[in-house]
Amino acid sequence: MTTARDLALVAADPRDGAVVEQGDLSLALAGAELIDLLDAGTLALDGTRLVPDGPAPAGDPLLSEAAQRSADGGPGETVEDWLWRRGRGLAARYRSVLEAEGLLAPERRSRNPLRRQRTAPADPSGVVRAARERWTSGAPVLGALAAAAGLTERGGDEPAGLADDHTAVLAAVLQAVTELAGERQRRTIEAAAFDNIWRGN
């Protein structure tokens, strides 16, 4: 299992009523893929820039897809640029693939078309349980990515035992999530101001 798959499986069944923004999750998944590609030796970091370093990893179609797409950003793409480019719609992509593989039960729609009912993950092979166990066991990378995605509260301290490359990617993920939250807030304020104009306030 890849870090990104573990994160997607955990996020599909959030505990404690966590509300996960799909944009935040997509950025965290892109960061997870990048960490897996760095660990596999497919990419390397030169400062904040990504450079090819080896063949694409085999065995996981989503990670192989990410490796192929890493060339689309051109030589020397920054970690931040990768997160925004690869992250677009990535949470939905993982959901779709994991449902097709039978690892997640399809989401059901309620009578209210604006409300979606999430079902508990199907787990025929124990893969979902293993992903959650890795998360609850305190795996530092998975825990930091889960916090960035909003599955848990973010701690003030940096997780211990991280490689420098991991730390750099996680910092970029947190920065991107913060920027996205700022953009959501800006749009909310603009929408409220527009509503007030129409109401004559």
Q: Which residues pair with 46 in a beta bridge?
A: 49
Q: What is the pLDDT, as a whole number, of residue 139? A: 86
Q: Single out the residue of 15, 31, 6 nearest to residue 151, CA to CA.
A: 15
* 66-75, 78-87, 132-141, 149-158: which is most confident: 78-87
Q: Single out the residue of 53, 50, 30 nearest to residue 42, CA to CA.
A: 53
Q: What is the distance between the terminal CA atoms of the chain, rounded to a whole angstrom?
A: 54
CB 150 within 8 A of CB 24: yes
H-assigned helices in 44-163: 61-69, 79-87, 90-100, 127-136, 140-149
pLDDT band at 6 (very low <50, low <70, confident <90, very high): very high
Instruction: Tell me how far apart the alpha carbons of residues 132 and 129 are, in angstroms, rounded to a whole number.
Output: 5
Question: How far is Cα of residue 70 from the mean position of the Cα atoms in its chain?
Answer: 16
Pull the structure tokens for residue 95: 């959901």
Per DSSP, the three-state class of 56 is: coil
Q: Residue for token digits 């990670």? A: 63
Q: Quote the pTM value.
A: 0.84
User: Which residues, at least 6 apart from 56, have a Cβ–Cβ distance to it below 8 Å?
Assistant: 42, 63, 64, 67, 68
- Could you tell me which residue, 30 or 102, shows the higher pLDDT? 30
What is the largest distance, in Å, between two alpha-carbon atoms of the chain?
61
Q: What is the pLDDT of residues 57-68, one digit of tens each?
A: 888 999 999 998
Domain positions in the chain are 3-199
CB 151 within 8 A of CB 11: yes
Per DSSP, the three-state class of 27 is: helix
Strands 49-52, 43-46: pairing kind: antiparallel
Q: What is the pLDDT, as a whole number, of residue 112? A: 45
pLDDT band at 115 (very low <50, low <70, confident <90, very high): very low
* Mean pLDDT score across all residues of the chain: 83
Q: What is the pLDDT of residues 148-191, one digit of tens each?
A: 998 887 665 666 678 899 999 999 999 999 998 878 777 677 66
Pull the structure tokens for residue 77: 């793409």
